[in-house]
């Protein structure tokens, strides 16, 4: 007879002392995790929104400070392209 063919056992998931599968450490903390990404992108979007709002306020303040005759001479091409901010606080 020949040699016996023995199946090699694959290493399974690590198990704790009570038989439970060990958790992945650092879940939710690496740079590609969903909670971390959403938090990061929300911060970026908030910063961009604040910047756009600041630019719109500056443009509209400058436009409002111009006399009516100057506004008419400049025409509609010179008025601010961004929409007027609703809350002026």
How is residue 22 written in tokens?
């060990």
Nearest Cα to 14, choosing from 25, 6, 4? 25
What is the C-alpha to C-alpha distance for residues 85 and 74, in angstroms, rounded to an integer? 22
How is residue 61 written in tokens?
């303040």
Per-residue confidence (pLDDT) for residue 8, from 0 to 100 = 73
62 pLDDT above the threshold of 90: yes
Report which of residues 54 and 89 the model is more confident about: 54
Provide the sign of the torsion angle of the four alpha carbons 53, 55, 59, 64, taken in this order. Answer: positive
How is residue 6 written in tokens?
């023995």
Reported as a pLDDT band with limits 50, 70 and 90, residue 69 is very high
Decide: helix, strand or coil at residue 60: helix
Nearest Cα to 36, choosing from 44, 46, 28? 28
pLDDT digit string, tens, across residues 8-58: 777 776 666 776 665 666 655 666 778 888 999 999 999 999 999 999 999
């Amino acid at each position: 007879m020949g040699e016996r063919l023995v199946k090699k056992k694959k290493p399974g998931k690590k198990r704790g002392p009570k038989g439970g599968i060990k958790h992945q450490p650092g879940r939710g903390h690496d740079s590609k995790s969903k909670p971390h990404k959403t938090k990061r992108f929300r911060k970026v979007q908030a910063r961009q929104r604040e910047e756009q709002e600041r630019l719109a306020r500056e443009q509209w303040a400058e436009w409002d400070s111009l006399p009516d005759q100057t506004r008419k001479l400049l025409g509609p091409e010179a008025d601010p392209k961004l929409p007027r901010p609703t809350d002026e606080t």
